[in-house]
A and B are shown apart, each in its own frame.
Chain A
């Protein structure tokens, strides 16, 4: 896989690299299957609500909607496994094999590599959370300066890593209940049912309120962020969300002179 330019110019504007085409396609599969799962699952979760029956009919009714739900669930599970293999392969190729070639691979350096991966939460994230609360409660006038992956994005990323291992197997057991009843008691279905239905509520509420706030509802994003399509962030978004990374990239490209001051939301600071 070739290295992407961290900073590109289009029509005199700066754009900062974020997601490869491979990752963007994975995201499309992810949200398509999750939206289909929610639309075919939630009417069943709240069958007595006025909206649920028309929605279920729209999604194919009691015969077709469960098929769509199972198909989308299968796609999501396959994507989950695929994505896990994807980052393990990248990790081995980019981090472990070079170390091995140099003969520096020890248990210690292996764990150092694991913990310094971009998506792994670190000490800086803890500082950023504390800093954000200080900022939100007006104890400082400087918003946190995130690196390439902010703690919120890490939380978003790990939400499926918590949700899918709970929802997926539970859904799978409920789907193949007759077959599973030969190897496990029916009581497992009771447990799977609670896991599936309650974790689904958490996932959908989180996506709807928190993730969609981050990428849709926030005033500077509304109606929608474009990074999932283009793979690049604008300079404004970069300053707002990843100021530490922004400064680093600008310095790497010898553009110290053009570094703009930090701002929050639409407001630039009067320092």
Chain B
């Protein structure tokens, strides 16, 4: 091999390497040089284990596949770098949003979130108490970090080959069709199964400390007591999770409002509409709204349920303890069948009490 050939060989290798990377995001700073290693991790100042490994397969099928690392991690401009700041999802990234030709940003979503019950500011602009507990973007959009298409109720995930073939008949070059297909459909699908979604809400609503600070009921436990919760736990995709009832039908999922707000899905006057949404209890009457979803069995709040529970538990205990004691003593009696404190004489002939009154049999 002469020098020319060797040069061509290395150029080809280099091109393959670089093109392989640019098929997804442009890795200008060559971040994956380090972050491709699975073991890249450390223990931070708070003693928390931090993993810095980026799975390229997951990343390349994620909604952020066309972003550069530095689009979100703006504070990093050299390698090696200092500990990165937390990503601010509301900053403008270098992607131009095609419909408005503007720099893209998640600001509008952050605004919706701030108007919801989970917003950190009150109506008058002052901070709420314990605002650090209230969720930001990454408290819900967390794991797995770069998830490909997932489920909507009853529908399976992934790219439909037949569907995408329509796009590909014109958009032949590169992975443009795949990328846009996922960009659009990932917003039409739910990114989590109902069971996973309940877990996301349970991160805070299942935390006793947080509940105490914000004076909240244990809505996760009470939800899991309902048929909705039970079917979801068993893997149903067609049963409502938290979002289905707590968001006005057709509204942005980030706008979860308090039950005291008149536009909320669970405001007293809106409950009937929420329950009777299409796909749910469409045929039901408005009275269905008086169903109590989050029953805590407290004597003050839910007296009927409380006393019914006591009644049935009492009945259960009475019947079962009576018969279990009887069975236990009877099995024990078999060990000493003839022992007795006072013995009776055997007589096959029966007295009147034994025979009882004479009866005709039914057949």
Contact = CB atoms under 8 A, between A and B. Distances in A.
Interface in A49-70: 52-53, 56, 61-62
Nearest to B297: A194
A141 B344 CA distance: 6
A202 B236 CA distance: 27
B309 A198 contact: yes
Given A136-B330, A210-B323, A53 B235 contact: yes
A139 B341 contact: yes
Contacts of B324: 209-210
Contacts of B354: 145, 244
A96 B288 CA distance: 47
A118 B359 contact: yes
Interface stretch (A7-15, A26-34, A71-79, A87-95): A87-95
Contacts of A45: 230
A39 interface: no
A56 B234 CA distance: 8
A195 B305 CA distance: 10
B243 interface: no
B233 A47 contact: yes
Contacts of B282: 178
A244 B339 CA distance: 22
B348 A186 contact: no
Contacts of A174: 227
Interface residues of A, number: 79
A190 B295 contact: yes
Interface stretch (B161-169, B172-180, B312-320): B312-320
A206 B231 contact: no
A117 B362 contact: yes
A228 interface: no
A177 B288 contact: yes
Interface in A111-132: 116-118, 122-124, 127, 132
Given A4-B363, A62-B234, A182 B343 contact: no
A233 interface: no
A205 interface: yes
B361 A118 contact: yes
Interface in A231-270: 244, 247-248, 259, 261-267, 269-270
A181 interface: yes
Contacts of B339: 138, 141
B250 interface: no
B234 A271 contact: no
A41 to B, nearest CB: 11
Given A47-B230, A210-B327, A264 B285 contact: no
Contacts of B229: 47
Contact of B348 (A1, A189, A247, A270): A247
B309 A136 contact: no
Contacts of A116: 357, 359
A124 B292 contact: no
A219 interface: yes
A209 to B, nearest CB: 6
A147 B350 CA distance: 12
Contacts of A140: 340, 342, 344
A177 B333 contact: no
Contact of A261 (B340, B341, B348, B362): B348
Interface of A: 1, 3-4, 20, 43-45, 47-48, 52-53, 56, 61-62, 87, 90-91, 94-95, 116-118, 122-124, 127, 132, 135-142, 145, 147-148, 174, 177-179, 181-187, 189-191, 193-195, 198-199, 201-202, 205-206, 209-210, 213, 219, 244, 247-248, 259, 261-267, 269-271
Rank and list the top 5 A-B pairs by shortest CB-CB distance, nearest first. Answer: A186-B291, A47-B233, A141-B340, A271-B346, A267-B337
24 contacts: A47-B231, A47-B234, A62-B235, A118-B359, A124-B356, A136-B326, A136-B332, A136-B333, A140-B342, A141-B339, A142-B346, A182-B287, A191-B304, A193-B227, A194-B309, A201-B312, A206-B323, A209-B323, A244-B354, A244-B355, A264-B333, A265-B337, A267-B338, A269-B338
